[in-house]
Amino acid sequence: MPTIPRKQTPDPRRKGRKRDRPQDKRYWTSAWRKARLTFIKNNPVCNDCGRVAQVVDHIEPVRLGGDFWDSNNWQPLCTSCHNSKSGREAHEG
């Protein structure tokens, strides 16, 4: 029985979905990548749980008026703690 190669079969769950990327294009600049790398090197521990930090989180979200480039508005978080914080913020009234 002939089959269609998987490569050519579209995934119905992805239809019409955009890539999961931050909406603010500043996150994709080389200036942000350098600033993030420097910050993580200087602050390697998650503020919440003490594990290795992988994410630079804006304490006051940029979309709510936090300053994007102010390093006083940054905190190091592990991926798990960052996802928890982002989920809480997304569901706040």
Q: Concatenated DSSP letters for the chain?
A: -----GGGS--GGGTTPPP---SSGGGGSHHHHHHHHHHHHH--B-TTT-SB--EEEESS-GGGT--SS-GGGEEEE-HHHHHHHHHHHHT--
SS3 58: strand
Query: What pLDDT score does 4 carry?
Result: 59
Q: What is the pLDDT of residues 2-52, one digit of tens each?
A: 665 666 566 666 655 555 655 789 989 999 999 999 999 999 999 999 999
Residue 93 has pLDDT above 90, yes or no: no
Q: What is the pLDDT of residues 40-90, one digit of tens each?
A: 999 999 999 999 999 999 999 988 899 999 999 999 999 999 999 999 988
Query: What pLDDT score does 64 carry?
Result: 87
Alpha helical stretches, state H, 1-93: 30-42, 79-90
Domains and CATH numbers, the chain: 27-90 (3.40.1800)
Query: What pLDDT score does 90 carry?
Result: 85
Structure tokens given for 37: 């790398």
